[in-house]
Chains A and B, each alone.
Chain A
């Protein structure tokens, strides 16, 4: 007897890289079900606040519900506190929102990127039920296993847990980070069937949020 399965994996990959004064968040725009492509132009990125951008991959229904939910909560926060939510605050809100559905999870793999209150880039990476961590870079989704090793190779810095604390490696410039993200997606597209079509890149820096779209392989 066929049981109703509430979940579906629509594929896709999200990446975020943080630097000193900027943050790059990128995601592909392919929506798939099984071996079929349903859309080549479905955005996975949502701008939650002026310094905070969320990219999610996984089940599109839950992604849309989650992003809508967060946008609503952000609006309530603005009305209560008369300011937009900061990125670390949104990070904890997202973690709580995900955990409150611990027994019926949002099937979403999220990466939150933005600038913290000092203007430094920050990236928060999540699992499906809300465990989160602030990192310098992250990849989530079907292409994550192909992309993370490359980012580790290029961007890895000494662990923040080390004592005495060691200086982080000099981060890349903004244009270098964007180039790295483009290269990494091009490689992931070669080997992951769920990644491709178009790449949406969002850069957050002190002057605001800029979007860029580049074409990826459509096969």
Chain B
């Protein structure tokens, strides 16, 4: 009985349409009304994909502005279980509730300060003639406290695609896991692997719909698909950039300096790995929020492979071995007699 009561409250909370903060209600309520009109005529389509509605009413699309990117489905899928048991489209847009408060942004800023979530920090990736190299440090900080030196910032989305984590650790972990689910669903639905372009677009679209809500994600999607090596930078502001060289995080400036200086398109895999390792090492040397271990991965035509994992403390002494300083005055023990 307690369980049924709990499930009841759970469903009720999820089913509440959250109030969007002022300034956004005008556009989103228009969009929602449109969504509802179209939705009522078409019971078969699942509620959480507004873009499909757009295509079916192509004639209307000319008159109305396309607000589908602003429309976000935060309600739980219909069903008494409140989405606990069967969540078919849960991978598309998880049901997240909003607090019912007068000043949403100020509340988000305050909670962010209060809980001091883990943030991650120097990552880089670049394309060269033999594929993509991806490298990252492994430190996570909570405010000024180092909460972990062993964080996995290179996330294995599938055997031929990697994602990096910079910004909010929880945000990156969750949305990469979600992306991995969607990539797998794509494979099952289309009988072929998703391209790096497609995967990065999926992620970028989700992040764009949460734009302005305080997510902090700066990620790179690197992989090898039918078109060869692919590298995209995607962030929580909604940016999605295709490129050959990226570095993201608080230590990225230091990493760029070393990376840009040593980069050539034609390199062996070992040289490329060493360049990435040194770039991250230098970032950890100068940036307080980066440290731990440098992990370097290579994505080739057969998928990704981890090239190395080294502790930066030890790398320092490898790169700069201690030189014995000449002794000016040697102290000897006084004789005890």
Instruction: Give the interface of A toward B (CB within 8 A).
Output: 6-7, 68-69, 72-73, 75-76, 80, 95-96, 98-105, 107, 125, 127-133, 135, 145, 159-163
Contacts and interface: CB of A to CB of B under 8 A. Distances in A.
Contacts of B238: none
Grouping DSSP codes into helix (H, G, I), strand (E, B) and loop, the B interface class, with mixed when no group exceeds half, is: mixed
Contacts of B172: 131
Identify the interface centre among B170, B174, B293, B306: most chain A CB within 10 Å of its CB.
B170
Given A103-B99, A104-B98, A127 B3 contact: no
Given A80-B85, A133-B148, A133-B150, A161 B170 contact: no
Contact of A75 (B3, B171, B310): B3
Contacts of A75: 3
Given A103-B97, A161-B295, A133 B85 contact: no
Identify the interface centre among A72, A107, A125, A127: most chain B CB within 10 Å of its CB.
A127
B95 interface: yes
A107 B108 CA distance: 13
Nearest to A157: B150
5 contacts: A103-B99, A129-B168, A131-B169, A159-B309, A163-B309
B292 A159 contact: yes
Given A103-B98, A107-B115, A162-B293, A127 B147 contact: yes
B197 interface: no
Given A99-B174, A127-B118, A133 B151 contact: yes
Contacts of A103: 96-99, 108, 213-214
Contacts of A133: 148, 150-152
A162 B311 contact: yes
Nearest to B215: A102
B173 A161 contact: no
B108 A127 contact: no
B206 to A, nearest CB: 13
Contact of A132 (B99, B142, B173): B173
B65 interface: no
B149 A159 contact: yes
Nearest to B108: A103
A76 B152 CA distance: 31
A206 to B, nearest CB: 27
A161 B168 contact: no
Given A100-B94, A103-B96, A127-B169, A163 B117 contact: no
Interface string B105-119: 000100100110110
Given A159-B292, A161-B295, A163-B308, A102 B148 contact: no
B143 to A, nearest CB: 10
Contact of B171 (A76, A102, A145, A163): A102
Contacts of A104: 97-99, 111
A103 to B, nearest CB: 5
B150 A159 contact: yes
Contacts of A95: 170, 173-174
Contacts of A130: 170, 173-174
B150 A102 contact: no
